[in-house]
Amino acid sequence: MENKEEVEIVGIDGEIAGVENPSSSADNRSSDSGQEESLRTSTYMTPLLEFDKKIGSFENMETFDPDKTETALDHRDSYGCLIYPLYYRPKYLRMETVGGIDELKTYCKAVTVGWRLWPHHWTTFQHIIDYLSMYTLLEDVKRMETPFLLTLKDIAVKNENDSGFGGLFMAPQAKRIIFQWKTPLPPGGIASMRMNPLMLKAMLSGMKPGPGGPVEMEICGGIDCLEVETRVVTFPRCGKCKKVVYHSKECQRKAWHAGHKKVCKAPPV
């Protein structure tokens, strides 16, 4: 009978939650070199190399209305076909440099480019956000750079206010990545672990108990701010629209002058 070693991780609200250490699991006892070799020989490598070869042409594209011309639609569909296979990368495997390609930067780039060119066509990069939010080690999430996290915040905020089908999926997944990034590591910095799915759902999904059931935790609406609410810390809301939250008066002031005052409306009575 298999014995799984349990390690402790401190949640963003200071609680301790058990997390399975994959190095103690029979499914994860292969060495790092073995994992890398498995990755290199997997069918995932072919689309990764193809994406790396073609992403430059999409990065150089000017933004356009994806519904205006047949060419624009073709570009959108080509991009979707190019990044879709990346979702099938092996799960819970440390992201490294394989075949000369930095995997983490590549996946972040796939989302960034897709969001810049097709913000209203979520299917082009939804599955990459899914992979990063559900199947990526906390260790790799911690290595994500601030510009990409701010892109995720933009995706979360704009899609929460989007009544379209895509917004129902992208906003919570983008937020989940930010909440994982904000989760403090346990003493000793044990980060190379697969997070227990139940813990992810309960602690990192961006939800907390409320009087009428679970309620979403929010990200500060300040410009370039990535502070998040916790289960014990709730940010004050904008006094007029009651929607946007701010973790400080300074963040609220900057956001107001940066444009929130133009869109801020009192909720309907």
Look at residue 101 and give its three-state secondary structure.
strand
Confidence of residue 255 (pLDDT cuts 50, 70, 90): very high
Give the residue, 105 or 62, on which the prediction is more confident: 105
**Residue 8 pLDDT more than 60?**
no
For residue 217, the model assigns a pLDDT of: 83
Residue type, 255: A
Q: 70-83 and 103-117 are packed helices; what angle lies between their axes, rounded to 10 degrees?
A: 160
Q: 126-134 and 103-117 are packed helices; what angle lies between their axes, rounded to 10 degrees?
A: 140
For residue 170, the model assigns a pLDDT of: 82
Q: How far apart are the first and last CA of the chain?
A: 60
Q: Are 115 and 71 in contact (CB under 8 A)?
A: no
Q: Are 179 and 134 in contact (CB under 8 A)?
A: no
Give the residue, 237 or 121, on which the prediction is more confident: 237
Confidence of residue 192 (pLDDT cuts 50, 70, 90): very low
Burial 166-176 (b: 16+ CB within 10 A, else e): bbeebbbbbbb
Give the residue, 265 or 23, on which the prediction is more confident: 265
Give the residue, 224 or 160, on which the prediction is more confident: 224
Mean of pLDDT values over 169-185: 84
SS (H, E, C) 169-189: HHHHHHHHHHHHHHCCCCCCC
Q: What are phi and psi of 182, to 5 degrees?
A: -80, -10
Q: What is the DSSP letter of 140?
A: H
Confidence of residue 236 (pLDDT cuts 50, 70, 90): very high
Q: What is the mean pLDDT of the chain?
A: 76
Confidence of residue 230 (pLDDT cuts 50, 70, 90): confident
What are the domain boundaries of the chain? Answer: 6-204, 220-269
For residue 195, the model assigns a pLDDT of: 52
**Residue 41 pLDDT more than 50?**
yes
- Tell me which H or E stretch contains 252: helix 249-255
The total of other beta-carbon atoms located within 10 Å of residue 65's CB is 8
Q: What are phi and psi of 150, to 5 degrees?
A: -70, -30
> Between vectors from CA 262 to CA 257 and to CA 266, what angle results, nearest 5°?
115
Mean of pLDDT values over 146-166: 79
